[in-house]
Amino acid sequence: MAEQAVSLQIKRLDPSELAWANERYAEVDFLPSPATDFVAVVFVGDNPAALGRVTQLTATVGELGGMYVFPEFRGSGIAKQLVDYLVAECGLDTLFCLPFEKLHDLYAASGFLLHPPNDIVPEKVLSKHAWCNLHYPDRVLLMSRGSTGRPI
């Protein structure tokens, strides 16, 4: 008997599902998303498999974050597809992200580069970066992706 292909769908989270998403974020000690965030969910078949978000900082700048692939779906390439979806769908020219160091290559594959020292970074991103490095045991990087795929 042949195995059936499992369908993968990525969609913007319905506002009525935000409480569910924030419960998932709380499980892994991530900050909650306000209703203003662009939050996306990945489904494998009928099962939610991952979450991610973009927080808009200005008319053209945002922060990609909250990337959480549920344990049973890790290692399947879902995270890369979710990052690419958020980058394409958020409508912003420049994105910052604060990934754990071990995830550098994942974000680099989607055009994010280590942000140059002494270059312009929104204060909200700088303060969150500092908080993350104090809060989490793993090192958190500061990466960015401009509209050309290069740091701003």
Record the pTM.
Answer: 0.88
Give me the pLDDT at residue 127, please. 95
Looking at domain 8-145, its CATH superfamily turns out to be Gcn5-related N-acetyltransferase (GNAT) (3.40.630.30)
Give me the pLDDT at residue 152, please. 46
Q: Flag residues of the chain having pLDDT under 50.
A: 1-5, 148-152
Give me the pLDDT at residue 7, please. 78
Give me the pLDDT at residue 32, please. 95
> Do the Cβ atoms of 105 and 69 come closer than 8 Å?
no
Residue at token pair 């990466």 = 143
User: Strands, DSSP E only, in 19-101?
Assistant: 38-44, 47-56, 61-69, 94-97
The token duo for 73 is 């779906």
Domain ranges within the chain, ordered by starting residue: 8-145
